[in-house]
Amino acid sequence: MAAGFDVIVLGLGGMGSAAARHLAARGARVLGLEQYSPVHNRGSSHGGSRITRQSYFEDPAYVPLLLRSYELYEQLERDTGLDVAMLCGGVMVGPPDSRTVAGSLRSAEKWGLPHELLDAREIRRRFPTMTPTDDEVALYEDLAGLVRPENTVAAHLRLAARDGAELRFEEPVTRWETLPGGRGVRVRTAQGTYTAGHLVICPGAWAPGLLDDLGVTVTVERQVMYWFQPAGGTRPYEPQRHPIYIWEDVQGVQVYGFPAIDGPGGGAKVAFFRQGGTVCTPDTIDRTVHPEEIAAMAGQVAPHLPSLPGSFLTASTCMYSNTPDEHFVITPHPAHENTTVACGFSGHGFKFTPVVGEILADLALTGSTHHPIELFDPRRFSDASA
Average pLDDT over residues 301-329: 96
Which pLDDT belongs to residue 4?
Answer: 85
pLDDT, one tens digit per residue, over 80-139 is 999 999 999 999 999 999 999 999 999 999 999 999 999 999 999 999 999 999 999 999
Contact 346, 330 (CB under 8 A): no
Using the 8-state DSSP alphabet, how is residue 350 labeled? G
Which pLDDT belongs to residue 141?
Answer: 98
Average pLDDT over residues 369-379: 97
Output the furthest CA–CA distance in the chain (Å, rounded): 67
Contact 52, 141 (CB under 8 A): no
pLDDT, one tens digit per residue, over 216-257 is 999 999 999 999 999 999 999 999 999 999 999 999 999 999
CA distance 153 to 92: 27
Which pLDDT belongs to residue 382?
Answer: 86
The candidate with the shortest Cα–Cα distance to 55, out of 99, 121, 119, is 99
Contact 89, 145 (CB under 8 A): yes
Using the 8-state DSSP alphabet, how is residue 251 labeled? T
φ/ψ of 92, rounded to 5, equals: -105, 110
Task: Tell whether the model's pLDDT for residue 384 goes beyond 70.
Answer: no
CA distance 138 to 352: 24
List residues bridging with 92 in a β-sheet: 139, 246
φ/ψ of 285, rounded to 5, equals: -55, 135
Which pLDDT belongs to residue 386?
Answer: 46
Q: Given pLDDT bands bounded at 50, 70 and 90, which one contains residue 2? A: low
pLDDT, one tens digit per residue, over 151-198 is 999 999 999 999 999 999 999 999 999 998 888 999 999 999 999 999
Query: In this structure, which amino acid lies at residue 106?
Result: R
Residues sharing a CB contact under 8 Å with residue 261, sequence separation 6 or more, in sequence order: 48, 49, 86, 146, 239
Task: Tell whether the model's pLDDT for residue 277 goes beyond 90.
Answer: no
Average pLDDT over residues 288-314: 96
Write out the DSSP string of 117-132: EE-HHHHHHH-TT---
Which pLDDT belongs to residue 274?
Answer: 82
CA distance to 36, 38, 46, 75, 171, per residue, from 191 (Å): 14, 18, 27, 35, 7
Share above pLDDT 70 across residues of the chain, in percent, rounded to a whole number: 98
List residues bridging with 270 in a β-sheet: 226, 257
Which pLDDT belongs to residue 275?
Answer: 80
CA distance 204 to 126: 38
3-state secondary structure of 15: helix
Q: Which helix (H) or strand (E) holds 19?
A: helix 14-25
Query: In this structure, which amino acid lies at residue 102?
Result: A
Which pLDDT belongs to residue 209?
Answer: 92
Which pLDDT belongs to residue 116?
Answer: 98
Which pLDDT belongs to residue 1?
Answer: 46
Which pLDDT belongs to residue 147?
Answer: 98
3-state secondary structure of 196: strand
φ/ψ of 365, rounded to 5, equals: -95, -30
Task: Tell whether the model's pLDDT for residue 385 goes beyond 80.
Answer: no
Contact 242, 260 (CB under 8 A): yes
Q: What is the mean pLDDT of the chain?
A: 96
